[in-house]
Amino acid sequence: MSRPQTQIERTLSLHATEAPGRPVEPEEFVEVEVDRLVLLDMAATHPEFLAHLPRRVHRPERVAWVFDHLVPAPTVELASGLVKLRELAARWGITSVFDIGRGGISHPLMAEKGWVRPGEILANTDSHTCAAGALGCAGRGVGMLEVMSILSTGRTWFRVGETVRASLSGHLAPGVAGKDVFLSLAGEFGAIPGRNIEFAGDGIAGLPIPTRQAIATMCAEISAEFALFPPDARALDYVRARVPADEPLAPVRADPDASYAAEWRVDLSGVEPLVALPNRVARNVRLVSEVAGVTITRAVVGSCANGTIEDLEAVANVLRGRRVHPGVVFTVTPTTSDVMAEAARRGLIDTIVAAGALVTSPTCGACFGGHMGVLGDGEVCVTSTTRNFQGRMGSPNAKIYLASSATVAASAVAGCLADPRGLEGKRP
Amino acid sequence: MKLVGRAWVFDDDINTDLLYPAACFRLPVEERPALTMSANRPGWSREVRPGDLLVAGTNFGTGSSRPAADNLKALGVAGVVAESINGLFFRNAINTGLPVLEAPGVRAFVREGTRVEIDLDTGAIRSEGRTLNVRPLPGFLARILAEGGILPRLRKEGYID
Ligand code: SF4
C-alpha cells in the first residue's frame, strides 16, 4: 500500500522529474516540471536579471509577462525598464504580455485569463502566487533568480512540507468576508513557515471564487508554502469558462485517508469582522469592535487579495448614499482591467466616486509603497491590501491596519476604524 | 561549509520590507543595502561588519519575493540562522549565495555580540562553549551555496552568459 497523499503531495509527486507518481513524504526535496511561469515587471529592477539574460526560453508559450507593480511607471528609470522588458518578450517569443490597460495584478489576472488550472504547478517570482490554490493549482512564488532558472530549464525544486488541514463549516454572515476568515486563522494559529495549508469541509461550497482567492492569497502572510482549496464544481466551472475546450484539465484531490500535521477548525458562521494591528499579521488580530474609534487618515481597497468585483461591490454597498469622511483619503484599486470594466457596467465606480473616493487604475502601487498614494509620516491607514509591515506602504512612521474591504469602507465613512455590519446594504 | 562570526540577534517575524524597503527599487543597486533594517533598527546597516552573522527568531524573511537576501549579502553578513525561515526568503538566499540555516532553539541560545560557529554540513552551532545541534543543510542546497548561488551554476551549464 502506498502512502496516502495530501493534495499538494500528490501534485508534486505527479510533476516529479524522477519517477513521477511515486508518493512523496514531508522533508523530501522533489525536482518538478513547472507547467506555467509568470514574469513580472519587477524583473526590470532586479540587480542580476538584465545583466545575465537566459540565452533561450524553455516553452515561451507557457510564459506570461505581467506588468503590475510599476504601472503606470512612476519614474523615467522604471519606464525605461518596461521598454527593455517589452523588447525581451518579443525577442524570446513570449506573446502573452499583459501590458498597461490590458491586464492587472498578476495573481487574480492569471486566474481570470485561464492560466491558473487545477492540478498544475504555477511559478511566479511573487510571494502571493499561493493565490492560485483557490482553484486547486499549486502556485508558488519562487523569486527572480529561481525564475531565471525555470525560464532556462522548465524545472524547479520544492521541499515537501507538512500540511495543515483547515476544515471550514457553516456560512459567512453578511458583512463578513474572506479576509476576515484568513485573519481569524492568522490570529488564532499564527505563522506556519515551511508548511502547507489545505482547505476542506462543507463550508467551502458556499464560498464564491473571489472569497477563496482572498483567503488563499493571504496565506502568504502566515508564510505557508502552498495554500490549496479542493477543485470542486464551482472551481472547475470557473476554470473551464476560461480555458480552450480542447485543453483537458487534470484536477488533483487529496486522498480521503491522507494524514495531516494539524487540523484547524473554523465555523464560518462565527467569524466576525477582524483587523490585524500594525506591523505584523500572525497572532496580531483583534475584533474590529475592540479597536473601533481609532482615528484614520487613509483608507485603501485593492491588491491581489482584495480588489475583486466582490470587494468593489462591498465598498459600493457601504458608500451608497454616504460620504467619505472629510479627514480621510480613500483610494480604491480594482485588480484588473476586466474587473474595472465590470464595476463600471454595474455602476459601482459611479457610486464610489460620488462618495468622494478615488478609483485608480489596476496596479500594485500603493500596496507595496511603490507609488500611487504612499503613506506620509504620522498617517494611520486601514487597508484591505495584503501587508501591514512597518514602512510597507510608505513612511516607517505611518501605522497600517489590515481588514476586509467592507471594514475599510465603513471606516472611511466614519473617519475611524468601524464595524461594517449593518452598513452594508446587500450581499452580492 | 563553516561560518564563524559575531552575532547580531533579531526577534521573530523580521520581514522583507524591513530587509529591503520599497524605496530600494528607486535607488541604484549599490545604495540599496544602506536601507536594510532602517525602519526597525536605524543605523544597523552602518554597524554591521563583513563576516558578522545574523541570528533571529521565528518566521524570518516573511513577506515578498524582493531580493532581500542581496542586501544582507552586500553588507557582508556571512549567514543567517533563525528558529524558522520563510520558504521564499530561504530559496532567494540559497540562490544568491547567502548561507541560511533553520535552527529551532537558536534565538535563546545565542547572545548578541558573542562569537558563533555554524557548521552547515553537520548542523552544529557553537557559542560560549555550548553546542546546539540542528538538522544540517541538505546536500544539494549546500552545493548551490558552494558554487556561489544559482547564477554560476546556470552559467556553467550554458544557460546564461
Ligand atoms: S498587490 Fe501587493 S501583495 Fe499583491 S502582488 Fe502586488 S504588491 Fe504584491
- What is the per-residue pLDDT across A111-155, written as a single tens digit (0 to 9) for each? 999 999 999 999 999 999 999 999 999 999 999 999 999 999 999
For this complex, say whether ipTM is above 0.90: yes
The whole-number pLDDT of residue A422 equals 87
The whole-number pLDDT of residue A428 equals 39
The whole-number pLDDT of residue A425 equals 62
Q: Mean of the per-residue pLDDT values for chain A?
A: 97
- C-alpha distance across the termini of chain A, in Å: 47
Q: CB atoms < 10 A from the CB of A425, how many?
A: 13
Q: Is residue B108 part of a domain?
A: yes
Probe site for chain A from B96, B157, B159 (most A CB atoms < 10 A): B159
Please list, in sequence order, all residues whose beta carbon lies within 8 angstroms of the beta carbon of residue A197, skipping any fewer than 6 positions away: A163, A164, A165, A166, A219, A222, A224, A226, A227, A228
Nearest alpha carbon, ligand 1 atom 3: A386
A304 Cβ closer than 6 Å to some ligand 1 atom = yes
Q: Tell me the CATH architecture of domain A276-414.
A: 2-Layer Sandwich (3.30)
DSSP A265: E
Q: Mean of the per-residue pLDDT values for chain B?
A: 96
A71 Cβ closer than 6 Å to some ligand 1 atom = no
Contact B159 A153 (CB under 8 A): yes
Ligand 1 atom closest to Cα of A364?
A: 6
Q: What angle do CA A65, A67, A70 make, to 5 degrees?
A: 145
Q: Which secondary structure element, helix H or strand E, spans residue A201, and what is its range? A: none
Percent of chain B with pLDDT over 70: 100
The whole-number pLDDT of residue B25 equals 86
- C-alpha distance across the termini of chain B, in Å: 27
Whether the per-residue pLDDT at A225 is higher than 50: the answer is yes
Round to whole Å and give the CA distance between A207 and A212: 6
The whole-number pLDDT of residue A228 equals 98
Task: Show the domain range for B90.
Answer: 2-156
Q: What is the DSSP string of A341-369?
A: HHHHHTTHHHHHHHTTPEEPPS-STTTTT
* Cis status, amide bond into A72, omega within 30 of 0: yes
Task: Band the pLDDT of A424: cuts 50, 70, 90.
Answer: confident
Max Cα separation, chain B?
A: 46
Summarize pLDDT for A80-89 with one digit per residue, the tens.
999 999 999 9
DSSP A132: G
Q: Are A85 and A98 in contact (CB under 8 A)?
A: no
DSSP A394: B
Report how far ligand 1's centroid is from the alpha carbon of A337 (Å).
16
Superfamily covering domain A7-20+29-247+261-267? Aconitase, domain 3 (3.30.499.10)
Nearest Cβ partner of A223 from B62, B140, B150?
B62
A223 touches chain B (CB under 8 A): yes
Q: Mean per-residue pLDDT for A72-79?
A: 94
Round to whole Å and give the CA distance between B90 and B150: 13
The whole-number pLDDT of residue A427 equals 43
Round to whole Å and give the CA distance between B85 and A278: 21
| Buried residues in B55-81 as b, exposed as e (16+ CB within 10 A) | bbbbbbbbbbbbbbbbbbbbbebbbbb
Q: How many structural domains compose chain B?
A: 1
Name the grid cell of A243.
Answer: 480555458
Ligand 1 atom closest to Cα of A387?
A: 3
Report how far ligand 1's centroid is from the alpha carbon of A126 (Å).
8
Q: Is residue B161 part of a domain?
A: no
Summarize pLDDT for B92-140 with one digit per residue, the tens.
999 999 999 999 999 999 999 999 999 999 999 999 999 999 999 999 9
Q: Mean per-residue pLDDT for A343-357?
A: 98
Round to whole Å and give the CA distance between A253 and A7: 5
Q: What CATH code is carried by the domain that includes residue B119?
A: 3.20.19.10
What is the distance in angstroms between the Cα of B129 and the nearest Cα belonging to chain A?
A: 30
Chain B residues within an 8 Å CB radius of A193: 58-59, 62, 84-87
Contact A52 B85 (CB under 8 A): no
Q: Is residue B120 part of a domain?
A: yes
Round to whole Å and give the CA distance between A61 and A152: 14
Round to whole Å and give the CA distance between A205 and A172: 12
Contact A145 B95 (CB under 8 A): yes
Summarize pLDDT for A31-74 with one digit per residue, the tens.
999 999 999 999 999 989 999 999 999 999 999 999 999 999 99
Chain A residues within an 8 Å CB radius of B13: 191, 280, 282
Radius of gyration of chain A (CA): 21
What SS3 state is found at A10? helix
Percent of chain A with pLDDT over 70: 99
Among B157, B64, B62, CA closest to A54: B157
Lowest pLDDT segment from A40-49, A416-425, B49-58, B78-87: A416-425
The whole-number pLDDT of residue B144 equals 96
For β-strands A298-301 and A380-383, DSSP reports them as parallel
Whether the per-residue pLDDT at A1 is higher than 80: the answer is no
Round to whole Å and give the CA distance between A249 and A241: 12
Contact A143 B18 (CB under 8 A): no
Ligand 1 atom closest to Cα of A220?
A: 3
Q: Which residue has the cell 486547486?
A: A136
Using CA atoms, how far residue A9 sits from A22, A197, A222, A228, in Å, is 10, 12, 20, 11
